[in-house]
Amino acid sequence: MTKKLWGTRFSKSPSPLTEKFTSSISFDQRLAKYDILGSIAHVQMLGRQKIISAKDAKIIIKGLDSLLSELNHGKFKFDPKAEDIHSNIQQALFKKVGRVADKLHTARSRNDQIVLDVKMYLKDEINILIKLIAELQKTILRFAKDNQKIIIPGYTHLQVAQCVLLAHHLLAYIEGLERDKQRLFEAEKRLDRLPLGACALAGTGLAIDREFVRRRLGFRHLTENSIDTVSDRDYILEVLADLSILAVHLSRMAEDLILWSTKEFNFIDIDYTFCTGSSIMPHKKNPDVLELIRASVGKIQADFSSVLILMKGLPLSYNRDLQLDKPPLFDAIDTIKDILEVFIPLFKNITIKKETISAKLKDESLFSVDIVEYLIKKGVSYREAHDIVGRMVRDTLDKGKKISDLSETQLKAYSLKLGPDVKEILNAGKSVNLKKSFGSTNPRQVAQQLNKWMKKLK
């Protein structure tokens, strides 16, 4: 039988059901690398501080080094009987170096150790995520740049609204993704505090040097309250919240692309390599990847809720409940990485359907606000201009006629301020060029934004 880290005071061994029920090794084994690296730094400190002898420290470090190399070569065997990742490493070390292994856990508890492992894991993962998000941003930017001149109908309430540059719409995605990167970056900064030394909850009477361990493990600061250190899971909640928001962005992008690829919109073509067919309807080419992106977002939000619910009302400090923060955390991170990894090549392979898009731009309702602004510039009040254009729309567009077909006399009947020159602004190119405000869809402004992002994302 595996020796428990806490076995001595127990007069009976746990039932096999308890062992199975409490075990976390099936999911926390992914923390093995961090557990070993943390242990190496910890034992170096114990040796330096003469809490254990330099000789013992050396033997333990050598043992841990060789476990690390086994792990890196896929040779480390996890023992499902050894409760969790900490016990697994401890037991493997015992097998390697014998009794001296028992000194490793001096001035440490699994309560501060698990926080260390997860924080180290998150620091790495956040870095990977930020890189993936930047990669997606660059892909979108390339796509925007390649189609810089394309104008599309913009929508509000999913009803035709006004002309916008496709690049402007795409840059909106890039803005949201930038905030996602910033949020993760800030979450990383906040969690960057070494927890080791909190021990179970009260700290230790042994002369440890937390500062040394902090430097060795590359943490920016120390946690400053041992009870908070083992109780706090804000850093997990924060990352899950950030991933939930990122996921919302990705789902909205996926939904836009799904809509745009329908026959009804027909703005884009999603490459065959990212679609699947129907077993019954031979004509189908379905955007399954995008649909699954949209669906996966629900999983991530459920992961966030699951940890929120786990934490609610939990007494300080450590409780075993906290073990169950990991499956949802890992699931959210794996899922978001899968989404980002498939979204990047999918985006690289979208083709724009220029002809069908430009046919949609013939819809003169796209220019109603431009006519209103034309009138305002001629001194008509906003309210009156809105009424005039409203009447024109009712009499023409609603009846399948065109504003551009109105004669000069007919135009004057709506307002004496309407000259024949109003017909010149009834086109998409004019429409976007009329926009002037900072941040608008004006092609010059969009070009500036494209350049700004080119530099920023380089």
133 within 8 A of 246, measured Cβ to Cβ:
yes
Return the number of the residue (317 or 335) whose C-beta is nearest ligand ARG. 317
Which of 270/310 has CB closer to ligand ARG? Answer: 310
How many whole angstroms separate alpha carbon 324 and alpha carbon 311? 10
Burial (Cβ within 10 Å: 0-12, 13-18, ≥19) of residue 246: buried
How far apart are the C-alpha atoms of 347 and 139, rounded to whole Å? 7
Nearer to ligand ARG, 115 or 411 (CB): 115
Task: Report angle CA 111, 115, 120 to the nearest 5 degrees.
Answer: 150
Q: Which of 73, 157, 279, 407 is catalytic?
A: 157
Q: Considering the complex, what minimum distance in angstroms separates the CB of residue 224 from ligand ARG?
A: 21
For residue 19, the minimal CB distance to ligand ARG (Å) is 13
Rounded CA separation 235/238 (Å): 5
How near is the Cβ of 281 to ligand ARG at its closest, in Å? 48
Distance (Å, whole) CA 455 – CA 458 = 5
| Residue (40 or 322) nearer to ligand ARG, CB | 322
Which residues lie closer than 8 Å to 187 by C-beta, 6 or more apart? 126, 235, 238, 239, 242
CB 233 within 8 A of CB 191: no
Between strands 351-352 and 268-269, the pairing is antiparallel
Quick one: 88 or 396, whose CB is closer to ligand ARG?
Answer: 88
Nearest approach, Cβ of 105 to ligand ARG (angstroms)?
A: 12
Tokens (6 digits) for 64: 């841990």
Residues that bind ligand ARG (CB under 6 A): 24, 28, 84, 110-111, 114, 318, 320, 322-323
In the complex, the smallest distance separating the C-beta of residue 5 from ligand ARG, rounded to whole angstroms, is 9
Residue 355: count other Cβ atoms within 10 Å of its Cβ: 8
CA distances 6 to 110, 234, 338, Å, are 11, 28, 39
Least Å distance, CB 319 to ligand ARG, is: 9
Active site residue 386: no
Cβ atoms of 113 and 40 within 8 Å: the answer is no
Active site residue 231: no
Residue 5 vs 161, nearer CB to ligand ARG = 5
**DSSP class of residue 263?**
T
**List 13, 278, 305, 358, catalytic entry:** 278
Residue 454 CA neighbour count, 13 Å, CB half: 12
Alpha helices in 192-232 (DSSP H): 210-217, 226-231
Q: Which of 110, 210 has the CB closer to ligand ARG?
A: 110
Q: How many CB atoms lie within 10 A of CB 54?
A: 10
**Catalytic residue ranges:** 157, 278
